[in-house]
Amino acid sequence: MGFFENIGRVVIDTGRQTIEVLALFFQTLFWLAVGPFKKKFAKREGIFSQMVFAGLGSLVIALFVSFFTGIVIAMQSAYQLTRFGANIYVAPMVAVGIARELGPVLTALVVAGRVGAAIAAELGTMKVSEQIEALETMALNPIRYLVVPRFLALLIMLPCLTVFADIMGIFGGFLVGVFNLRLDPYRYITFSFQFLQWKDVWTGLVKSVAFAITISMVGCYMGLKTKGGAEGVGRATTLSVVTSFILIIMFDCFLTGIFYFMNK
């Protein structure tokens, strides 16, 4: 019976947490509609400071990861295509693969590991030190004051990061194609955009929006539910990153399936 009790407990806890995250999401949408801007907001909690932290602070590592991913895809695909004398098809494989899949997913994983963890740690620290209760005492809604700026910042900046990551990933493949495979630069670029369509780009952007919602909601939820002092903050941060990673892959699979059947 213990085995089935553990399974039931996990199912019940997962369902409860899912409902609570959805409730947090709808409250965030409410306060977003009402207006997150307020003069009494501290500077470090402002939307634009959060955008700088989430976007500009993550730009270098996102570009770094995407650039070398583009190089790896180009080299791996060239290894197989060389046998058939089809090296030129490395160009569209890199462009489409980065734009539709690897660009948004890898960027989201980078942001989840950096920004999502920071959100959970910061809000968790505020929770265990009773700063959130102090906000409520001052008639400041914690969701409006803490969650909405982080939610909106990620919602804006993650698609922007994805666009830059796509460009850098394609550029990495371009370097391999031109300097290693000896392909003509002009032909490489024209062949890439011959196969890369607008739907490939917006598919990746739609995914990045879903990933931004996931990262912000998971990070804020874990932070606001933190308890147990410093140990609890570390546990919430770790759980936030792991949960975000799993949900990003799950939503990526789900959205890819939707786009696949829509295009059939």
What is the SS3 assignment for 16-40? HHHHHHHHHHHHHHHHHHHCCCCCC
11 C-beta neighbours (distance < 10 Å), count: 10
Between 255 and 45, residue with greater pLDDT: 255
Q: pLDDT-based confidence at 7, cuts 50/70/90?
A: confident
Between 249 and 181, residue with greater pLDDT: 249
pLDDT above 80: residue 6:
no
Q: What is the pLDDT of residue 37?
A: 57
Structure tokens at 153: 């910042």
- The label of the residue with tokens 């936030």 reads 240
Domain boundaries, the chain: 2-262
